[in-house]
Amino acid sequence: MNDTSLPQPVPCSQCQAGKMHLHYITYFTWLGEELISVPNFPAWICDVCNRREYDERAISWLTMLLSPSAGRPTRTGHRPPAPPKPTGVRPAQEP
Ligand SMILES: [Zn+2]
């Protein structure tokens, strides 16, 4: 079995004895002079030495959210998804 839907514990890079498990914590960071909190933020925490590492994708996602230039249009950027088309609308049928 190679189930990648659940994150597997990874060996701790600091103590080499523990395993780092994925936890969802409240992440605090500064935005200018304002302290903001991000609930349910994924973090890898060692069960032996309590070393904490944050998920790289989550960090980059958060950095993008907090970036002043976020949302700036770029030529190579991803286009937003098209709005959903209305469903259930059928052309009137002639009797
Ligand atoms: Zn450790």
pLDDT at res. 44: 94
pLDDT at res. 64: 87
pLDDT at 94 over 80: no
Neighbouring C-beta atoms of residue 44, cutoff 10 Å: 19
How far does residue 21's CA lie from ligand 1's centre (Å)? 10
DSSP 72: -
Q: What is the pLDDT of residues 25-76, one digit of tens each?
A: 999 988 889 999 999 999 999 999 999 999 888 889 888 888 766 566 666 5
Q: Which of 61, 63, 58 is nearest to 43 (CA)?
A: 58
CA angle 67, 38, 79 (to 5 degrees): 45
pLDDT at 13 over 80: yes
To the question of pTM greater than 0.75 for the whole model, the response is no
Q: Would you state the CATH architecture of domain 10-66?
A: Roll (3.10)
Ramachandran angles phi, psi of 48, nearest 5° = -110, -55
Quote the CA–CA distance of 43 and 38 in Å, as a whole number: 12
Residues with CB under 5 A from ligand 1 (ion): 12, 14-15, 18, 46, 48-49, 51
pLDDT at res. 65: 84
List 14's β-bridge partners, or say none: none
> Where do the domains of the chain lie?
10-66
